Amino acid sequence: MPAKPAACRARVAAVRALAPAILEADLTLVEPPVLAFEAGQWVSVPFGPKLVRAYSIASTPRSPSTLTLCADVTPAGLGSRWFRTLTPGAEVEFKGPLGGFVLGPTETRRALFVAEEIGIVPIRAILADLAERGDYRPATLVYEAHDEAALVYDAELRARTREHLGFAYHPSVSRESGLAAIVDRLVIDVTGLVAYVAGGEATIARVREVLMAKGLERKSVKREKFW
C-alpha cells in the first residue's frame, strides 16, 4: 500500500552544487523522523494557499531519515529562490510522499527511462533503488541535457553500466531536444516494455507518440511532467 502523504519538518544537512545552476540538498527529517516512500515519488513545498512547488526525491527508500532533493534553479521563480536559500541547519517544511511515477513491486517488464534535463531526478532514484534491491532487469536510459555540466549524475550512471550488464545508458548533449528521435532509433521492439518519461510536456508527448507508433499502449508510458 502506498504511504499516505504526511506534513514533514526537516533540517538541511548539506547542500552541493552539481552544476552551476543545479543544487542538491540533503534534508534530515525531524518530524516524522523517517518517511516511507517509493523511489520516484516527490514532495510538495508550500509557499502559500494553493501555492506549492514539487521536488522529486533523488534518494532511495533505503535512506528513510534523510531525503535528497535536486533542483535546476534556472527558472528563478519561487521554488528556485527557495532552493537557493537552503543552507545547513535551516529548517524546511513539506508534504509527502506524493505521486505514482514509480516502478512498483508487481512491475516485471523491462524498462525504458527517458529523462529530459532535471527530469533525471526521479529516474536516478528508481535506478538506484533497483540496484540496491539487486533487481538487474534489462533497462535502458536515454538522457539529454543542454550541456555536459547539466548532465548531472552522469558518472554514477556510467558506473551503473559496469555493475548492471543489462543496463544501457545513452547520454546526449543538445540544445534542442532530440530525445524522441533517439528513442525512435533505439527502440525496435516494444514487447514487454514499460516506459518512464520525465521532463517537459512537449518532449514527453513526442516520446509517447514515437512509442505508441511502435505499438506500445498509452498506459505503458508513465509520465512525470516537470514543466
Distance (Å, whole) CA 195 – CA 139? 10
Residues 50-79 that bind ligand FAD (CB under 6 A): 53-56, 70-72, 75-79
For 126-156, b/e burial (b = at least 16 CB within 10 A) is bbbbbbeeeeeeebbbbbbbeeeebbbbbee
Applying CB under 6 A, among 63, 80, 172, 220 the residue interacting with ligand FAD is: 80
Q: Toward ligand FAD, which CB reaches closer, 11 or 146?
A: 146
Q: Residue 213 CB, nearest distance to ligand FAD (Å)?
A: 26
Q: Residue 225 CB, nearest distance to ligand FAD (Å)?
A: 6
Binding marks (x or -) toward ligand FAD, 147..186, rule CB under 6 A?
----------------------------------------
Q: Residue 221 CB, nearest distance to ligand FAD (Å)?
A: 16
Q: Residue 166 CB, nearest distance to ligand FAD (Å)?
A: 26
For residues 113 and 123, the answer to whether their CB atoms sit within 8 Å is yes
Binding marks (x or -) toward ligand FAD, 93..132, rule CB under 6 A?
------x-----------------xx--x-----------
In what side-by-side order are the strands of the sheet with 91-98?
A: 51-56, 42-48, 91-98, 6-19, 22-31, 66-72
CB atoms within 10 A of CB 37: 24
Q: How many residues bind ligand FAD (CB under 6 A)?
A: 21
Distance (Å, whole) CA 196 – CA 122? 10
Q: Is residue 21 within the footprint of ligand FAD (CB under 6 A)?
A: no
Q: Residue 222 CB, nearest distance to ligand FAD (Å)?
A: 12
Distance (Å, whole) CA 127 – CA 167? 10
Looking at residue 35, the DSSP 8-state letter turns out to be -
Q: Residue 27 CB, nearest distance to ligand FAD (Å)?
A: 13
For 187-221, b/e burial (b = at least 16 CB within 10 A) is beebeebbbbbbbbeebbebbbebbeeeebeeebb
Helix (H/G/I), strand (E/B), else coil: 148: helix
Q: Which residue is nearest to ligand FAD (CB)?
A: 77
Contact residues for ligand FAD (CB under 6 A)? Answer: 42, 53-56, 70-72, 75-80, 99, 117-118, 121, 224, 226-227
